[in-house]
Chain A
Amino acid sequence: MSTVTDAPTRTRGRRPDDDRPPRRIGLSQRLGTWDVKLSPYLYISPFFVLFAITGLFPLLYTAYVSMHDWDQIMGQGEFVGLEHFRFVLGHSDFWVSLRNTISIFLLSSVPQVLVAITLAALLDSNLRARTFWRMGVLLPYVVAPVAVSLIFSNLFADRFGLVNAALGLIGVEPIRWHSDPLASHVAIATMVNFRWTGYNALIFLAAMQAIPRDLYESAWIDGAGRVRQFFSITVPMLRPTIIFVAITSTIGGLQIFDEPRLFDQYGRGGAGSQWKTLTIYLYELGWTQSNFGRASAVAWLLFLVIVAFGLVNLAVTRRIADTR
């Protein structure tokens, strides 16, 4: 800073015709140095400033809010310590929401990864019209979850729904998708799978294509068939990718909101909270009941759940990929 303010001061102190050429060079050199030194920080600063203000600060401040009475309209009230956590943890809504969130998450992530890997293996064969198939599996990705949810809540309608009609054809009794907890979780997980399976398949496909081909050749020479090759080479080599997909789907999946919110027209996660998720619960506390304190407590608890699941996930995927 001082060097910058130096320059004009000195300019003023000397007679202009004395040393104009050297000073100019000096100044531009100095500016050039500053340009080199400061520019990188300037260029990366937008991310850090924005992350600090809209990411990190809100996340940390959530802890502060969670320890106060805090109304959406009235603002900050008294310090209450862990009272909100006590309330939330003592309320059945929290535990039901946690159960639903985990159930929907498992129903969407596990089958999705399995189907995506299979799909990737199919796409990895020497297909005709390769681009067509690749684009085809990605189509659902551009449909907003909100639209997906509207469509599927109709397909899974209890009365007059296409899924129940189809099940009726093979003699299955109509399933009460909008009142049975597990059935509703299956329906909601189907929406998530609809949108993300093809996307993840392309990620796995790319990883498969990066596997050195001589691995397959030597396996072929050793007499390993395609199925054996898949389990002994492809799956272990996909390990980093599986971990990556598992982690990203954990972070997103446990915060699920759009699909369950629009599964019926009331948006409260079912008359008996059958498909209420933690984020719906958070929204309900914060914006329906205007209780920002309790909503923040739920946010922090959900944060802990995500961290815990992330770690478990990492351990499990490591182990699965290792034992192959």
Chain B
Amino acid sequence: MIPTTTVPGAATRTRRSGLNRPGFVTYGLLGAFLAGSVFPLWWSFLIGSHDSTVLARTPFPLLPGGNFLRNAATVIDQVPFWRATLNSIIVSTTVSLSVVLFATLAGFAFAKLRFLGRGPLLVFVVATMAVPTQLGVVPLFIVMARLGWTGELTAVIVPAMVTAFGVFWMTQYLRGTLPDELIEAARVDGASMIRTFWHVALPAARPAAAMLGLFTFVATWTNFFWPFIVLNAKNPTLTVALQQLQAAYFIDYSMVLAGATLATIPLLVLFVVAGRQLVSGIMQGAVKG
């Protein structure tokens, strides 16, 4: 699958007889969907703020109880919670920065520099997006074990340091926004390639780079399969620690869901701050890719 269908991005705002506001059915359906999206999170907090006997009670209480902090304390006691949080921050930040840097470099080259094999190489990059590389876990694990990286964060960080999606995304963006004249001007002034990249391409790429960084951060933070395989109980990321919470003990749902809530809070904060960028990122990506 090569998503190269470029549709003109001129999204008209008020299409179809612009003054018509939709009726209450539209708002009702959207509201219902929204409620369904929020409810599980509310439920998680609700159960996490009671004790586990609450589930056997009828009717269910619909307001939070006062036990959230106690449950949270149990979570922090049962698994290396702070370590896991720190690890998730380290891994997600490093991976995001690295993906942005390498993808922008490659995007700059693909979009703006001439070299032999540029077209086929870009097609190759895009084609790799359709390859389920997760299926190479066994040899990847063997490689990591050879390197002595199992249990280390490097094992999670290094394979994720640049993605085909990122390269494609930055190529598309720079192709459309960075004028050739700017690069030529920098070259005429005697700037080397890397200086041209650093002072011309990178600043121009900022909006797209920020979005790429955001999506990479979310994807890395929520990632489970590979960290679960290659890390261990003493040095987990948050998702791996959450799994331990459920697996290690007879299910105390209040404690488990307090943990799920705690692990979700950082991304909810990110969502409040940058949700708008995520929305426009998805929509731009859809139009471009």
Contact = CB atoms under 8 A, between A and B. Distances in A.
**The 7 nearest A-B residue pairs measured at CB:** A58-B136, A144-B222, A206-B283, A39-B193, A58-B139, A206-B286, A54-B159
B16 A216 contact: yes
Interface residues of B, number: 110
B177 interface: no
Interface in A123-151: 123-128, 131, 133-148, 150-151
Nearest to B196: A39
A271 to B, nearest CB: 15
B38 A131 contact: no
Contacts of A133: 30, 34
Interface in A29-81: 32, 35-37, 39-41, 43-44, 46-48, 50-51, 53-59, 61-62, 65, 72
Contact of A257 (B125, B158, B224): B224
Listed residue (B14, B27, B114, B260) with the most chain A CB atoms within 10 angstroms of its CB: B260
Interface in B155-174: 158-159, 161-164, 167
A321 interface: no
Given A40-B109, A55-B131, A296 B138 contact: yes
B193 A209 contact: no
B267 A139 contact: no
A143 B267 contact: yes
Given A122-B29, A154-B257, A162-B43, 13 more contacts: A40-B113, A41-B109, A47-B162, A127-B22, A137-B37, A141-B218, A142-B270, A143-B222, A147-B263, A194-B37, A265-B246, A266-B247, A310-B130
Contacts of B251: 265
Interface of B: 1, 3, 5, 7-12, 14-16, 18-22, 26-27, 29-30, 33-34, 36-38, 40-41, 43-44, 47, 55-56, 58, 60, 102-103, 105-106, 108-110, 113-115, 118, 121, 125, 128, 130-143, 158-159, 161-164, 167, 192-194, 197, 218, 221-222, 224-225, 229, 238-239, 242-243, 246-247, 250-251, 253, 256-257, 259-260, 263-264, 267-268, 270-271, 275-276, 278-279, 282-287, 289
A141 B278 contact: yes
Contact of B286 (A147, A207, A257): A207
Contacts of A145: 222, 224
B148 to A, nearest CB: 15
Given A47-B167, A61-B139, A310-B1, A131 B162 contact: no
A123 B250 CA distance: 43
Contact of B125 (A32, A47, A283): A47
B211 to A, nearest CB: 13
Nearest to B284: A206
Main secondary structure of the interface of B (DSSP, over half): helix
A299 interface: yes
Interface size class of A (residues with CB under 8 A): 35 or more
Listed residue (A32, A47, A119, A292) with the most chain B CB atoms within 10 angstroms of its CB: A47
A58 B137 contact: yes
Contact of B197 (A43, A141, A203, A244): A43
A46 B105 CA distance: 9
Given A59-B135, A59-B136, A142 B268 contact: yes
Nearest to B3: A244
B106 A43 contact: yes
A101 interface: no
A244 B289 contact: yes
A146 B224 contact: yes
A255 interface: yes
B257 A47 contact: no
B135 A247 contact: no
A302 B60 contact: no
Contacts of A207: 7, 286-287
A134 B239 contact: no
Contacts of B257: 150-151, 154
A292 B138 contact: yes
A202 B21 CA distance: 20
B132 A255 contact: yes
B20 A126 contact: yes
A157 interface: yes
A320 to B, nearest CB: 16
Contacts of A103: none
B232 to A, nearest CB: 12
B133 A55 contact: yes
A117 interface: no
A147 B264 contact: yes
B84 to A, nearest CB: 12
B215 to A, nearest CB: 10
